[in-house]
Amino acid sequence: MTGFGDGLAVGPDLVHAAEEAANDAMTPLAGRRPDMMCVFVCSDDPAAVQAAAFRAMEVTGAATTLGCSAGGVIGAGRGAEMTNAVSVWAAHLPGVRCRSFQLDVVRTEDGVGVTGMPERHDDDAVAVLLADPYTFPADTFVERSHEALGGLPLIGGLASGARAPGSSRLFVDGRSVEQGAVGVLLGGPVDVHSLVSQGCRPIGPSMAVTKADGNMLLELAGVPALSKLETIVQDLSPEDRASVANGLHVGIAMDEYALDHERGDFLIRGVVGADRERDAIAIGDVVEVGRTVRFQLRDAAAAEEDLEQMFSRCRTEIGTVDGALLFSCNGRGRAMFGSADHDVLAVQQGLGISGVAGFFAAGEIGPVAGRNHMHGFTASILAFGPPRS
């Protein structure tokens, strides 16, 4: 039988906080040794982060450990942002194969490559991946992972809170790593589900990209892109027009053959600028001519609604969930919802579980429509169901 526990402690003495959080995470396991443990530490002092993580790993005695520094941590039904804090998550996963790994960037004749990924097994289910944003090409690695890793789902995030290159810390199996990425590959009788809430709602119609140049959308449905957007905005309510000024995005349809494209059918990318001379819009990705896009709004209400709908589908399609890891964007929390506790409480209530922990990431990793992507302003969740036979 699986078991999950979580703990969070705040205070200037990070080693003591790590002990407290680790002991709290161990309590629901009722004396069983955790097969996997994650630790996330928030502090401006890399040495203190490392000492706290080592202490948490020592207290739990977990067979496999994983963690990183963060600008905020999540556990025990709450979030702690920009303050000294430690979050610990412990899982008893009988029969599950947990293989840790460390990824390094190497120079090749063609540029750079990544080494260290374990050889795939047929029953591998998911990999949890934590990366240093300064030294690991997470965008490229994640976007190419579908072919390179045979469709293996990736979920996780970028270490956050670091003020300069070299100040992030990654942890794996009792070791501290200052660059690259670390992770754990889960296989065997493990029932896991990757949930990604992008926190947006669509506005206006779905449109074909009829002219583009790199990341510039020049025409949508045969109309200059900026003019098309202005027409859509004019038809919005005053409240939605205000939201456009604060958070306009574009959704790229993941299934070109769907008759209708609604919430959850898009990969969300930011609108990063406009070019009035070209009557064009710049977005945070390259979109080919022929793809379907739809403008999106991101605000607290949209994010709340998106989470509720995702959890409703999860309860219907998956059923029972026992525990979860949560990787929430560091732009969410207080900045979006007014509370650092919002996402973890939503997961607990939406899935009816405890044993939820994670951190506020500088970028979130998770699959949309069966392919792995890097995200922003997203909540990526790895939900654990009862063990499979």
State the DSSP string of 264-280.
TSEEEEEEEEEETTTTE
Same domain, 75 and 131: yes
Q: Which residue has the tokens 């009722």?
A: 30
Same domain, 176 and 221: no
Residues 4, 18 contacting (CB under 8 angstroms): no
Same domain, 183 and 45: yes
- Spell out the residues 6+ positions from residue 36 whose beta carbon is closer than 8 angstroms to its own: 62, 63, 64, 65, 66, 90, 91, 93, 96, 98, 184, 186
Instruction: Indicate whether this model's pTM tops 0.75.
Output: yes
Same domain, 36 and 100: yes
Distance CA 97, CA 184 (A): 10
For the chain, what percent of residues have pLDDT higher than 90? 83
Same domain, 281 and 186: no
Same domain, 128 and 277: no
Q: How many CA atoms lie within 13 A of 100 on its CB side?
A: 20
Number of domains in the chain: 2
The two structure tokens encoding residue 337:
């919802």
Residue 108: pLDDT band with limits 50, 70, 90: confident
The two structure tokens encoding residue 224:
């200059």
223 in helix, strand or coil? strand
Same domain, 103 and 41: yes
- Spell out the residues 6+ positions from residue 58 whose beta carbon is closer than 8 angstroms to its own: none
- Spell out the residues 6+ positions from residue 219 whose beta carbon is closer than 8 angstroms to its own: 209, 210, 211, 212, 225
Please indicate, yes or no, if residue 389 is contained in any of the structural domains.
no
Residue 257 has pLDDT above 80, yes or no: no
What φ, ψ does residue 344 adopt, rounded to 5°? -70, -35
Note down the domain range covering 321: 3-197+303-384
Same domain, 279 and 312: no
Nearest CA to 342 out of 356, 323, 363, 322 is that of 356
Distance CA 331, CA 303 (A): 12
Residues 365, 182 contacting (CB under 8 angstroms): no
**Crossing angle for the helix pair 46-60 and 14-26, to the nearest 10 degrees:** 30
The pLDDT tens digits for 8-62 are 999 999 999 999 999 999 999 999 999 999 999 999 999 999 999 999 999 999 9
Higher-pLDDT residue of 183 and 369 is: 183
Please indicate, yes or no, if residue 255 is contained in any of the structural domains.
yes
Residue 297 has pLDDT above 80, yes or no: yes
Distance CA 96, CA 240 (A): 47
Same domain, 36 and 175: yes
234 in helix, strand or coil? helix
Average pLDDT over all residues of the chain: 93
Among 278, 298, 318, the domain-final residue is 298
Residue 256: pLDDT band with limits 50, 70, 90: low
pLDDT at position 112: 81
What φ, ψ does residue 162 adopt, rounded to 5°? -75, 135
Cβ burial 238-263 (10 Å sphere, 16+ → b, else e): eeeeebbeebbbbbbbbeeeeeebeb
Please indicate, yes or no, if residue 379 is contained in any of the structural domains.
yes
- Spell out the residues 6+ positions from residue 305 whose beta carbon is closer than 8 angstroms to its own: 201
Same domain, 294 and 337: no
Among 250, 271, 298, the domain-final residue is 298
Among 298, 333, 368, the domain-final residue is 298
Please indicate, yes or no, if residue 8 is contained in any of the structural domains.
yes
Please indicate, yes or no, if residue 40 is contained in any of the structural domains.
yes
Please indicate, yes or no, if residue 286 is contained in any of the structural domains.
yes
pLDDT at position 259: 54
State the DSSP string of 238-254.
HHHHHHHHHHEEEEEES
Same domain, 291 and 315: no
Same domain, 111 and 250: no
